[in-house]
Amino acid sequence: MARNESEDMIKICSLFSGSSGNCIYVSYNGTSILIDAGVSGRRIEAALRDIGESLDNISGIFITHEHSDHINGAGIISRRHKIPIYANTETWEAMRPFLGKLQSEHVRCIEVGEEKTIGDITVRSFPIPHDAVCPVGYNIFIAGKKLTIATDIGHMNDRLLSCLEKSDMILLESNHDLEMLRTGRYPWPLKRRIMSDYGHLCNDIAGEVVAHLAQCGTKRFLLGHLSQENNLPELAYRTAFNALMDKKINPVKDVYLEVALRDRASSVMCIGTGA
């Protein structure tokens, strides 16, 4: 029997991305997962419906860390739709009081560096520098392809960069413009936290990382977790665009570059897995 062409497509969509809430949808061959669930269950359900999907088909929620913009909807979604939640032990201890009562079979551990496979999707966590108890990003392996979710990054280092390299697609934090942050209305302690080694990645560093990864072969980029107060989508995009141009990489012809939206679903990215 001929294989349905749509079954050979990986689908990934940023439903929400920003300091007000984060949720990423990934699907392949009948299996669908979420990375984080940081807005209400109702909003996630509506966003999925807008792209023709449903919470009834989600097989797992993978949490990056315990901050509210990554877990706000996780508990209610798990209860209503009987969906397991995956996180490392330290993150479970930190976020458990905020999720409400959960069925024991829906509490799943994925320790740092461990892999979990659901259907044809394999998820592996890796450590990131952020001011949470045990924050992680995720590599997602599907039919020989590698997708990466990496946000809430205080600084880039060689170990982290090695986890991002050779990705076919990456959602990378481009949180703030340094000048907007420095001259903005945030109090100094909050500015210092954001700019610290355990805060968030600025546009300039994100652009450098995008250019490096493009040189290493990555073709699809989503810039995510933008600050509403200290960034602009066009500014994040232009910074990465210019970094690519500086490396003689055409941001329109050679790669796909988009900014993930904070309040609604971005474009559904489809990645072929056929030979």
Digit-by-digit pLDDT tens for the chain (275 residues) are 344 455 689 999 999 999 899 999 999 999 999 999 999 999 999 999 999 999 999 999 999 999 999 999 999 999 999 999 999 999 999 999 999 999 999 999 999 999 999 999 999 999 999 999 999 999 999 999 999 999 999 999 999 999 999 999 999 999 999 999 999 999 999 999 999 999 999 999 999 999 999 999 999 999 999 999 999 999 999 999 999 999 999 999 999 999 999 999 999 999 998 74
Residue 40 included in any domain: yes
Q: Which domain holds residue 14?
A: 9-272
What CA–CA distance (Å, rounded) separates 21 from 32? 20
Residue range 218-254, pLDDT digits in tens? 999 999 999 999 999 999 999 999 999 999 999 999 9
Contact 22, 225 (CB under 8 A): yes
CATH of the domain at 33: 3.60.15.10
Q: How many structural domains compose the chain?
A: 1
Residue 3 included in any domain: no
Residues in the chain: 275
- Burial class of residue 117, CB neighbours in 10 A (0-12, 13-18, 19+): exposed
Whose tokens are 């349905």? That residue is 4
- What is this structure's pTM? 0.95
What CA–CA distance (Å, rounded) separates 101 from 93? 13
What CA–CA distance (Å, rounded) separates 118 from 115? 10
- Burial class of residue 238, CB neighbours in 10 A (0-12, 13-18, 19+): middle
Residue 244 included in any domain: yes
Residue 4 included in any domain: no
pLDDT attached to residue 8: 82
Residue 46 included in any domain: yes
Residue range 79-111, pLDDT digits in tens? 999 999 999 999 999 999 999 999 999 999 999
